[in-house]
Amino acid sequence: MLDRQQFEQQLAQVEARVTSACTRSGRSREEVQVMAVTKYVSLETTRLVLEQGHAHIGESRWQDASQKWEQLHQLGTWHFIGHLQSNKVKDVLGRFDYIHSLDRLSLAKAIHKKATQDQQRVKCFLQVNVSGEASKHGMEPEQLISMAESVREMPSIEIVGLMTMAPYTEHPEETRPVFRALRQLRDELNQRSILPNPVQHLSMGMSNDFDIAVEEGATFIRLGSVLVGKDEGGETNGSHE
Ligand SMILES: *Cc1c(COP(=O)(O)O)cnc(C)c1O
**Cβ atoms of residues 75 and 51 within 8 Å:** yes
pLDDT confidence of residue 239: 43
- Which residue minimizes the CA distance to atom 2 of ligand 1? 239
Mutate to test the pocket of ligand 1, among 33, 37, 56 (most ligand atoms within 8 A of CB): 37
pLDDT at 233 (0 to 100)? 55
210 pLDDT above the threshold of 80: yes
Mean pLDDT of the chain: 95
Q: Whose CA is nearest to atom 5 of ligand 1?
A: 224
Ligand 1, atom 8, residue with closest C-alpha: 224
Residue 151 pLDDT more than 50? yes
**Ligand 1 centroid to residue 27 C-alpha, Å:** 24
pLDDT digits (tens, 9 = 90+) for 224-237: 999 999 987 555 44
Q: Ligand 1: which residue has its CA nearest to atom 4?
A: 224
- Chain mean position to CA 236: 19
Res. 241: pLDDT tops 80 = no
Establish whether residue 37 lines the binding site of ligand 1, counting it when its CB lies within 6 angstroms of any ligand atom: yes
Cα of 141 vs centre of ligand 1, distance in Å, is 21
40 half-sphere exposure, CB direction, 13 A CA radius? 20
Confidence of residue 219 (pLDDT cuts 50, 70, 90): very high
130 lines ligand 1 (CB under 6 A): no
Q: Which percentage of the chain shows pLDDT scores above 70?
A: 96
The pLDDT assigned to 236 comes to 47
Angle at 65 between CA 225 and CA 15, to 5 degrees: 35
Q: Which residues of 93-105 are buried (b: 16+ CB within 10 A; e: fewer)?
A: bebbebbbbbbbe
212/175 Cα distance (integer angstroms): 7
Q: Which atom of ligand 1 is nearest to the CA of 239?
A: 1
Ligand 1 center to 222 CA (angstroms):
6
Across residues 197-224, what is the average pLDDT?
Answer: 98
DSSP letter for each residue of 56-68: EEEES-HHHHHHH
143 CB near ligand 1 (under 6 Å): no
Does the Cβ of 227 fall within 6 Å of ligand 1? Answer: no
| Cα 225 to averaged position of ligand 1 atoms, centre (Å) | 8
pTM of the full structure: 0.95
Report which protein residue has its CA nearest ligand 1's atom 12.
81
Question: What is the domain partition of the chain in residue ranges?
Answer: 4-223
Q: Which atom of ligand 1 is nearest to the CA of 240?
A: 15
Give residue-wise pLDDT tens across range 83-129.
999 999 999 999 999 999 999 999 999 999 999 999 999 999 999 99
* pLDDT at residue number 1: 82
What number is the average pLDDT over the span 24-51?
97
CATH number, span 4-223: 3.20.20.10
